[in-house]
Amino acid sequence: MAISWPSFKDPDEVLDYQIDWSARLVTMDSVDTITTSTWTVPDGITKNSDGKSNTATTIWLSGGVKDTAYILTNRIVTAGGRSMDQSVKLKIKAK
């Protein structure tokens, strides 16, 4: 199930968006950490860069077609060997 980022992005903006993975990283006996993060970005919107911390991932985006909704997917792999995906919907609107 895709979550939605709370705001719209104008096609002319370059903005950063984040996923907080901390709740999903808690296991029965410890807290896991993110070791790798990979983003799948559809055609029409541009990934400028991305990064991660131990518990969150960030992507910088530009472009996008007005009145279009994009689904982006972030896959993380953790130090404990877990692999998790999260899809996010981002709507593009002129501001």
Q: Alpha-carbon distance 7 to 95, whole Å?
A: 11
Q: Which domains does the chain have, with CATH numbers?
A: 3-90 (2.60.40)
pLDDT at 16: 96
Lowest mean pLDDT among 7-11, 51-55, 85-89: 7-11
3-state secondary structure the chain: CCEECCCCECCCCEEEEEEECHHHHECCCCECCEEEEEEECCCCEEEEEEEECCCEEEEEEEECCCCEEEEEEEEEEECCCCEEEEEEEEEECCC
* 67-80: pLDDT as tens digits: 999 999 999 999 99
Model confidence, pTM: 0.92
Under the banding of pLDDT at 50, 70 and 90, the label for residue 1 is low
Q: Which tens digit of pLDDT belongs to each residue from 40-58?
A: 999 999 999 999 999 999 9
